[in-house]
Each structure stands twice: as C-alpha cells, then as structure tokens.
C-alpha cells in the first residue's frame, strides 16, 4: 500500500527515512519546496547525493494545498530490479491551514492514511481518499497481446 502523508499548508514536513535493504533508496518529492542539496532524494549533476544506504532526514515545505507525489530516485530504473515497480512511492496531501483529519470509522485523529474525514474551522467538512494505480509491467505474448493473469 502506498504511503500517504498529510500536512497543512504552511507546515514544515520532516521525514526520517530509513531502510534495511542493501542498496541506495530515497524519497524524491515533486512540487514541494526543499533544499536541493539535502532533501532532493536524488543523486544528479553536481548536487550532493541525497539518497541513502540506511538513513536520512528530508525537510520539505508544504506551502500550498494539493497532492504531491513522491517516489524513489535511489534506483529509478523501470525494470524488475528498480524500486518504483515494487511500490516505493506515495503522496503528501496538503490541506488548508488549521485542518484536522480524522479516521472515518473511529473519529480519532490520523497521522496518515488513504482515507480521512477533513475538518476545517471555516470550511465544509469532506471525506478524502487517495487512489493509486500501480500497473504491472507491460508483458506481451508471442502475438503481441497482453496475456490473461490470475
């Protein structure tokens, strides 16, 4: 299941990312502000490598409401050995300042999750949900057709 992180506009988002795999991994956010030298989650050009073999802290700034996708850039290959195909991706959902998000079943406050009831002191409440489509590799049979899978 993809990771969903929630924040309010104006907040600083601090992510302590760690893993136990024997390879470089990261979290690269699209659309939020950050210091490219420390929190890009990539190893490109002359920038400092902000992927990690074990642990790193990323700092991102949620300046505007919206949905911001993140994914691994430690191994961005699209093949079977790459990490994106195995589900290292998710999103940060940024709500209006002062919003609270609650569990739709229990009514308790949430830190993250695919489903949430969003409450704001001056706006109507609403139920929000995140949906990800994570397609499998395009595989063709000898005639160029996608085979049926079970």
Cα–Cα dist 85/81, whole Å: 8
pLDDT of 138 strictly over 90: no
CA distance 47 to 32: 18
Q: How far apart are CA 20 and CA 142, in angstroms?
A: 39
Query: Do 80 and 136 form a contact (C-beta atoms < 8 A)?
Result: no
The domain locations on the chain are 3-95
Arithmetic mean of pLDDT, 95-119? 93
Q: Which CATH class is domain 3-95?
A: mainly beta
- Asked if residue 77 has pLDDT above 80, the reply is no
The span from the CA of 36 to the CA of 77, in Å, is 21
Most confident of 36-45, 59-68, 138-147: 59-68
Cα 13 to Cα 39: distance, rounded to the nearest angstrom: 11
- Mean per-residue pLDDT for 97-119? 93
Report the alpha-carbon distance of residue 134 to residue 104 in Å, rounded: 25
Lowest mean per-residue pLDDT among 9-18, 95-104, 105-114, 116-125: 105-114
State the Cα–Cα distance between residues 137 and 94, nearest whole angstrom: 31
CB atoms within 10 A of CB 65: 14
Q: Report the distance separating Cα 93 and Cα 64, nearest Å.
A: 10
Q: Which residue has the higher pLDDT, 140 or 54?
A: 54
């Amino acid at each position: 299941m993809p990771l969903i992180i929630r924040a309010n506009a104006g907040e600083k988002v601090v992510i302590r990312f760690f893993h136990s795999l024997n390879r470089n991994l990261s979290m690269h956010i699209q659309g939020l502000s950050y210091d490219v030298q420390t929190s890009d989650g990539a190893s490109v050009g002359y920038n400092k490598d902000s992927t990690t073999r074990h642990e790193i802290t990323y700092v991102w700034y949620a300046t505007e409401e919206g949905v911001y996708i993140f994914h691994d850039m430690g191994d961005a290959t699209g093949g079977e050995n790459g990490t994106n195909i195995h589900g290292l991706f998710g999103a940060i959902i940024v709500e209006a300042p002062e919003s609270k998000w609650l569990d739709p079943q229990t009514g308790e406050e949430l830190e993250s999750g695919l489903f949430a009831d969003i409450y704001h002191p001056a706006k109507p409440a609403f139920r929000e949900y995140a949906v990800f489509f994570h397609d499998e590799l395009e595989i063709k049979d000898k005639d160029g057709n996608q085979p049926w899978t079970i």
